[in-house]
């Protein structure tokens, strides 16, 4: 027999309204009352019906996640991070993949919001960095939290969780320079992602800090894909002055660069060091395993969701982390520059 809110109220010795306030995490409930209700719910294994909660009043208990990103591992981590926080706080999750380059993307997002009756959106790049999307959400008065690339100084911290790609890219490049590399190439990411520019600027900042002369022909375009790593590495390895190290904008690109180098019988890392970014499974599935920067995507997504829910409840969010700096992970794909 299904357990109802009435059963929880009876066991806890409180009203149905009080149980509802506890389930909705309203701050006005006294802690001892909250404890009794939660204990009763746990004893009865009570699971709130989210659809019923949404239909019962004007308040929604559904978070939306829209995305367009070619990196499947990134999307899975984001989904899992958002979902874990939704489950913890009694919310449902609506996942809506989109084509960010579609002419009708704004209308599509608007219709999804209307149909799903969401309480707010978690936005990842490129949507989180799209001014038209943000302006539309502001006009619709829809709550959102943006996961974006940046250091935090220039952003509204109440609606942003930031990733300091610049500093992490500088740390990776510092690592290569300390290994004696001077001819360090860079394979970029998609232009529609701010992280591509932040990682490039971090790479350039490290070169400048160590008085290493930049070389324009060592910087090639990419799009965060395995194929772009293959194409970019082939272009770099055909240069008269070949690089001794390649910094790729993400691990999938680095895996492609490593593949291209192996087809040319170039030993990694003896003849060429290759590093990535994000610490995705790609970095651990290659041989040798990739030096990279660990980006805790599930934790980032969880914190963004927690911030969104706190904002919708007008709760304090001081304890929620708003800035993440990916940390250098040194593995076997980087070593001392060949003499």
Strands 292-294 and 327-329 come out as antiparallel
Q: What secondary structure letter does DSSP report for 213?
A: P
Which one, of 306, 317, 328, 314, lies nearest residue 147 by Cα? 306
pLDDT in tens, 153-194: 555 567 899 999 999 999 999 999 999 999 999 999 999 899
Mark whether 193 and 311 lie in a shared domain: no
Instruction: Tell me the angle at which helices 16-23 and 31-44 cross, rounded to the nearest 10 degrees.
Output: 90
> CATH code at 114?
3.40.50.2300
Overall number of domains in the chain: 3
Mark whether 173 and 68 lie in a shared domain: no
Q: Could you tell me if residue 57 is inside a domain?
A: no
User: Which residue range is the domain that position 240 belongs to?
Assistant: 165-295
Degrees to nearest 5, angle at CA 53 with 48 and 55: 145
Measured in whole angstroms, the distance separating CA 83 from the mean position of its chain's CA atoms is 13
Mark whether 170 and 141 lie in a shared domain: no
**How high is the mean pLDDT of the chain?**
89
Mark whether 122 and 235 lie in a shared domain: no
Mark whether 37 and 81 lie in a shared domain: no
Mark whether 274 and 179 lie in a shared domain: yes
Q: Could you tell me if residue 185 is inside a domain?
A: yes
Contact 206, 170 (CB under 8 A): yes
Q: Could you tell me if residue 190 is inside a domain?
A: yes
Mark whether 103 and 180 lie in a shared domain: no
Residue 23 scores a pLDDT above 80: no
More confident residue, 238 or 6: 238
Q: Could you tell me if residue 119 is inside a domain?
A: yes
Mark whether 222 and 261 lie in a shared domain: yes
Mark whether 157 and 301 lie in a shared domain: yes
3-state secondary structure of 13: coil
58 pLDDT tier (thresholds 50, 70, 90): very low
Mark whether 141 and 172 lie in a shared domain: no
> CATH code at 28?
1.10.260.40
Q: Could you tell me if residue 207 is inside a domain?
A: yes
Cα–Cα dist 304/135, whole Å: 20
Q: Could you tell me if residue 331 is inside a domain?
A: no
Highest mean pLDDT among 38-42, 128-132, 228-232: 228-232
More confident residue, 300 or 44: 300
Contact 313, 59 (CB under 8 A): no
Q: Could you tell me if residue 53 is inside a domain?
A: no
Token duo for residue 34: 């909250």
More confident residue, 51 or 218: 218
3-state secondary structure of 144: strand
Contact 304, 319 (CB under 8 A): no
148 pLDDT tier (thresholds 50, 70, 90): very high
Contacts of 198 (CB under 8 A, 6+ apart): 149, 150, 164, 165, 166, 169
């Amino acid at each position: 027999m299904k357990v109802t809110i009435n059963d929880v109220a009876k066991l806890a010795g409180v009203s149905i309204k009080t149980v509802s306030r506890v389930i909705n995490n309203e701050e006005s409930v006294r802690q001892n009352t909250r404890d009794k209700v939660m204990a009763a719910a746990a004893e009865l294994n009570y699971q709130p019906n989210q659809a019923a909660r949404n239909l019962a009043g004007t308040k929604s208990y559904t978070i939306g996640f829209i995305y367009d990103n070619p990196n499947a591992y990134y999307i899975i981590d984001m989904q899992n991070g958002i979902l874990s926080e939704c489950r913890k706080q009694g919310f449902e999750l609506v996942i809506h993949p989109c084509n960010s380059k579609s002419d009708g993307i704004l209308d599509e997002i608007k219709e999804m919001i209307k149909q799903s009756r969401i309480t707010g959106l978690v936005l990842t790049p490129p949507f989180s960095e799209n001014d038209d999307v943000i302006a539309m959400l502001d006009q619709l008065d829809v709550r959102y939290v943006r996961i974006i690339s940046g250091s935090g100084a220039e952003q509204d911290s109440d609606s942003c969780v930031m990733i300091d790609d610049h500093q992490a890219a500088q740390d990776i490049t510092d690592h290569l320079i300390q290994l004696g590399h001077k001819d360090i190439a860079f394979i970029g990411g998609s232009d529609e992602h701010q992280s591509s520019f932040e990682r490039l600027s971090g790479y350039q900042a490290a070169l400048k800090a160590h008085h290493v002369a930049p070389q324009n022909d060592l910087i090639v375009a990419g799009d965060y894909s395995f194929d772009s790593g293959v194409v970019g590495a082939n272009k770099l390895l055909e240069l008269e002055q070949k690089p001794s190290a390649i910094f790729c904008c993400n691990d999938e690109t680095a895996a492609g660069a490593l593949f291209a180098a192996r087809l040319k019988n170039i030993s990694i890392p003896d003849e060429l060091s290759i590093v990535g970014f994000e610490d995705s499974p790609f970095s651990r599935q290659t041989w040798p395993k990739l030096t990279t920067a660990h980006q805790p995507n599930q934790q980032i997504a969880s914190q963004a969701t927690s911030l969104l829910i706190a904002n919708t409840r007008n709760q304090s969010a001081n304890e929620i982390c708003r800035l993440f700096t990916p940390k250098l992970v040194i593995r076997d794909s980087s070593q001392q520059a060949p003499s």
